[in-house]
Structure formats: structure tokens, C-alpha cells
Structure 1
Amino acid sequence: MQAVVLSAGMGTRLRPLTEDKPKALVEVDGCPIIEDVFDNLLEIGADELIVVVGYLKEQIIDRYGDSYRGVPITYAHQREQLGLAHAILQVESFIDDDFMLMLGDNVFRANLGDVVNRQQEDRADAAFLVEQVPYEEASRYGVLDTNEYGEIVEVIEKPAEPPSNLAMTGFYTFTPAIFHACHLVQRSDRGEYELPDAIDLLIQSGRTIDAIRMEGWRVDVGYPEDRDRAEEQLRDQSSHAAATAETERPTGAEVD
């Protein structure tokens, strides 16, 4: 499956970390965020990476060239940062079939493969991970509104009064139907073409949409303190893994 990585933004909220580099190259625990994204996507079967670049794009292109760990990279240029739906349209000509999409500023240690499997099993036109966030933070995200049966009835981008605290994370799978929806999206009050608005159009047209609860964790690296939080999470996970390995280490075999 092809995988699209959105890495065109200026990362103004991450300054001063992004004053001289694109957000995707900000390091978390010694690794650029985009490499962590690449590694996650390759682990779940990506056979081509399509990277949408914009701000200081030459730094990303010069660093990674035309492949990463043997997997080809194609670059698409978003000359104006007009929202995620607009960014997705920049890759329309490169996509052959169903594809994965990950935001280039998220650090995941979660069940990404479940999204791919569910989307293929259900032949859904969109599938994505969702997580419960504190209500006071829900207005930062695309939020789901569900009915009494738990079915998604609407997706709202950064609502002033969130209908729930169930938020979309930064990982999705789509069929090419998403491109038609993105073409139909109108600019939001923020002046951008919003991805949740495109997904909402799919919902309203009766398309199959799957939301999968996240198992694990992720950090949306939007602010410098988020980078620090992601580093802490990674180090805690490494420490836990090391402690587990030490506990499970064989004590030696008995000799007859």
C-alpha cells in the first residue's frame, strides 16, 4: 500500500525549533520526527512513500533523496499551506489505489496496523484511529459526533464547543473517494480546506467509515513542550522494555 506523509507546514507553534528547519526534521530523542513516521509506515507494509513538502522542503529532499531503507520516495509540493484537504489533493496524480496517510508531526506507538486491516476487511472509504482526549483539549482536533448506537454522524474540525472528546489522531487509510470529497470542500472560517470536512462529506453521502480506538499512545508535536513529552514517553517505553527483558532473561540451563 502507498503511504502519504504530510510535511509541508511551517510549524509556527514549534518555534524556535522550526526557525531554521521544517517541522518534520525536528528531532525527538535524537531522531527526526519524519524518520519515526517512515519507520512506522514501513513496519505496517508501506511499499512507497509520497511526501508532501512545502516549508524549507529542500532540507527534507536533500536528506532523504529518492528512497528510505530501500522504499522509494516521491515528493509532492504544496506551494501554499491551505489545509490538510488541500495537501492531500497534491498527491492525487500519484495514487493508484487505497493508501495510508500519516501526519508528519506525530509520534506513534500504537495499533496502526489495525486501521489498515479494518479498512480492507470492511472496504471502507476511510478508516482512522481515534482517542479520548481531555474535553478542554478537544477543540484542538477533529472531533467525532456519534449517535446513540455509537455510529459516526459528523466530524467537526476544531469545534469551539466539542460534541465529544473523541478525537481523530494523525493516521488514516483512504480509498481514492477522498479526492472527490477534498475537491468539494469549502474553505473553513480559518481559511483552510479541512480534512475532517472532507471525511464528513463521505459520511453524509453514505460511505462506509471506520473509527478504531487507539491502543498505545501518540504525541502530536505541535509545541516545544510536546516534543519534550514525546521524548519522555519514548524513554519510559525503552526503560520498561529493558526492565522486562532483564526479568525474562534465562538464568541458565541445568547440567545433568
Structure 2
Amino acid sequence: MQAVILAAGLGSRLKKLTENNTKSMVEVNGISLMERMLRILDTKSLSNIVVVTGYKSEFFINYIKSLNINTKLTFINNEIYDKTNNIYSMYLAKDEMIKEDSILLESDLIFDDKMISELLEDNRENLALVAKYECWMDGTCLKINENEEILNFISGKEFNFDDADKYFKTINIYKFSK
């Protein structure tokens, strides 16, 4: 099992916080989002951590290398990060993702390490971690059935507040079979 982290974006909505850093280098309680994520992943006996970079790539790679992570690190650069999105960054990592099962994470997350343990221990080949929809959440939602299978995705245009109690939101952590 390996991890793939999508970290190419500008983080422009964070304004001054990302003038001299990438979004995942922003600190919360004295530790960057990326360092916290890498430290958690480094304890999970993964074979590899693939990081797709883009914005300030060389600076960001040097920062990650300075953290002295024990797990093997592989870097992929999205040279057109300013014109693409996470789906394209994931596409760039496809050759790594077909080598072995992968945990896919966006780089701007804060999560408990138990979430990763549970994901690794779950015997299902493909998973999307979700949370019950709450009014402050944005982006695409989904509906799931009683067997925890995704029934359909709900785009912003299709969102119906009358059905909001039936919606879930992905939290941008996934497990994919190779």
C-alpha cells in the first residue's frame, strides 16, 4: 500500500498565508498540514508516498525532504498546476497508482491518524471517506445506501435543500485498488 498526496495547487484563497508557502505548508498549532500528514503516513508501514507538486515545486520538495520522513518519497511535478485541477494531478500519478493499492489524499487536510488505520484495515478494495452533510460544507455531495455504496453524486446545480439530510460530503481521503 502506498499514499498519493495531491499538492500542486496555489492556495490562492488563503491570500497572505500562501504568499511565501504552498497551501499545505500553512501551519496549524505550530505544525504544517503537510508535515502532520507525512508524520501520520510515515507510521503506517507504507511502501511509498507519492507527492504531486506544482506551485513552488522545488521549494516544496526541499521542505518535504527536510522533514526526514523514513518512507520512500516519490515526487511528480504538475507543470501546468495553474491551469488544471486535482483530477489532472491524479492523472499524472496514474503510473504509480497502477503499481499497487493507494490511499489518495488532498494535501490541505487535518485528520486523526485513526482514520488512516481504519482505512488500511478495511477489507474493501475501494473506499471514499465521507461525513454527513452540514450546511457549512460546499462542493459535490453524494447519496449512499444502507450498504454504504455510493448511489449518485449531487452537483451544486442538483443540490436540493429538502434532501440535505440524506447527503454526505467526501472528505478527500480515498482508498483505491491498483
Tell me which of 142, 146, 149 is aligned to 2:140.
142
In 2, the alpha carbon distance for the partners of 1:16 and 1:168 equals 27
On the 8 A contact 1:115/1:128 being kept in 2, the answer is no
In 1, the alpha carbon distance for the partners of 2:157 and 2:118 equals 27
Partner of 1:86: 88
| Partner SS for 1:137 | coil
| Partner SS for 1:144 | strand
Partner of 1:113: 117
Indicate the structure with greater helix content.
1
On the 8 A contact 2:144/2:168 being kept in 1, the answer is no
**How far 1:11 moved relative to its partner?**
0.4
TM-score with structure 1 length normalisation? Answer: 0.60
How high is the sequence identity, in percent, across the aligned residues?
Answer: 24
**Deviation readout 1:84-117 (Å, 9 max, x if unpaired):** 2211111122231111111110010152222222
Q: Quick one: structure 1 residues 149 and 99, their matched pair in 2 at CA, closer, same or farther if it must change by over 3 Å?
A: closer
On the 8 A contact 1:112/1:129 being kept in 2, the answer is no
- The aligned amino acid for 1:101 is L
After the TM superposition, which parts of structure 1 deviate over 4 Å for at least 4 consecutive aligned residues? 147-150, 157-160
Tell me which of 153, 156, 167 is aligned to 1:155.
153
Partner of 1:76: 76
Structure 2 unaligned residues grouped into runs of 5+: none
On the 8 A contact 1:33/1:105 being kept in 2, the answer is yes
Q: Quick one: structure 1 residues 155 and 116, their matched pair in 2 at CA, closer, same or farther if it must change by over 3 Å?
A: farther
Bigger relative CO (Cα 8 Å, ≥ 6 apart): 2
Q: Quick one: structure 1 residues 26 and 159, their matched pair in 2 at CA, closer, same or farther if it must change by over 3 Å?
A: farther
- The aligned amino acid for 1:175 is S
TM-score with structure 2 length normalisation? Answer: 0.83
Partner of 1:166: 168
- The alignment's C-alpha RMSD in Å is 2.3
Structure ID, larger Rg:
1
| Partner SS for 1:105 | coil
In 2, the alpha carbon distance for the partners of 1:24 and 1:78 equals 16
Structure 1 unaligned residues grouped into runs of 5+: 177-256
Partner of 2:35: 35
**How far 1:59 moved relative to its partner?**
1.5
Q: Quick one: structure 1 residues 63 and 116, their matched pair in 2 at CA, closer, same or farther if it must change by over 3 Å?
A: same
Residue-pair matches, total: 170
